Structure 1
Amino acid sequence: MTVNPDDRLQIHETLARLADAVDAGRFDELDEVFTPDAVYDMSATGLGVFRGRDGIRAAAAGMARSGRAPLAHFVTNVVVTGTDDGATVRSKGLMLMPDGQTLAVGHDDVLRRDRGAWRLSRRTITPVPRPVAAQG
């Protein structure tokens, strides 16, 4: 089932707000992006699974303090499917890293309405493998 154009735009905005808030270090804004019981699964990258807004906010802040967090996130290739109350979204993410690398990931997201807005209830990050020639 497809999501109506207004909801689709709000879902795109939610994904953009997440990237913008993290890039700017405005971690308090994550409350407006995630549901209270959200799960952020970065286990495929070796970084673990973070639960709830507090856990996600703490993980984002910790990565920023470590100096290894991306300098900028870009979300692209957004494909939304769902119903009036829930949606699944597949997208790609590009990240500019402090060491100059550009990394790519896949996002598998589940969003639902929470307090009248679309919010992420689950995000799973999967690294896009680098070509063998680029790994050297």
Structure 2
Amino acid sequence: MPLTVEDRLAIADLINRHGHLTDSGDLDALHELFVPDVIYDVTDLGGQVLTGLAAVREAALALGEANPVAHHVTNIVLTEAADGRVHAQSKGLGVKSDGTTGSVTYQDTVVRGDDGWRIAHRTVRARRVPLTP
């Protein structure tokens, strides 16, 4: 079934809420963004592949002051998959407490469940070199 305008808005809101929840430290609300067994791959940032909400929460807490003070998401592009999943690609900007910034690309697989749309898989790719895929 094709994505409706309402689906597209709900998925964009889902992706946008990530920054608000993490920046406010509301890590107990990660279930509003991700499925319980989410796969969250931050290997490109020097981390690891995290499995499950508890692992994502623990990794954020372990970073402590090294976490960005602000996450900004933009350029959300949604592509429907034949199995009902949605592939979402977006750009992220992170601002550190010292004012330095970094850019990433989020590659998400989004699924619809009983509680609405949730991210089932997220890969975070650092943007370090211009004009590269």
TM above 0.5, yes or no, is yes
Offset, 1:99: 2.1
1:1-136 equivalent positions in 2, closer than 5 A: 3-63=3-63, 65=64, 67-82=65-80, 85-129=84-128
**Counterpart amino acid of residue 85 in structure 2:** G
Offset, 1:49: 1.2
Q: Structure 1, unaligned stretches of length 5 or more? A: 132-136
1:16 is paired with a residue whose SS is helix
1:98 is paired with a residue whose SS is coil
State, as a whole percentage, how many aligned pairs show the same letter. Answer: 36
Q: Per-residue CA shift, 1:39-80, capped at 9, x if unaligned?
A: 1100011111111111111112222x2x10000000001000
Q: Is the 8 A contact 1:2 1:80 kept in 2?
A: no
Q: Is the 8 A contact 1:73 1:95 kept in 2?
A: yes
1:70 is paired with a residue whose SS is coil
Offset, 1:29: 0.7
> Please, what is the CA RMSD of the aligned residues?
1.7
Most deviating of 82-91 and 105-114: 82-91
1:85 is paired with a residue whose SS is coil
Alpha carbons of 1:62 and 1:118: their partners in 2 closer, same or farther (altered >3 Å)?
same
Q: Is the 8 A contact 1:3 1:80 kept in 2?
A: no
Give the TM-score normalised by structure 1: 0.88
Q: Structure 2, unaligned stretches of length 5 or more? A: none
Following TM superposition, where does structure 1 have runs of at least 4 consecutive aligned residues deviating by more than 2 angstroms?
none
**Counterpart amino acid of residue 102 in structure 2:** L
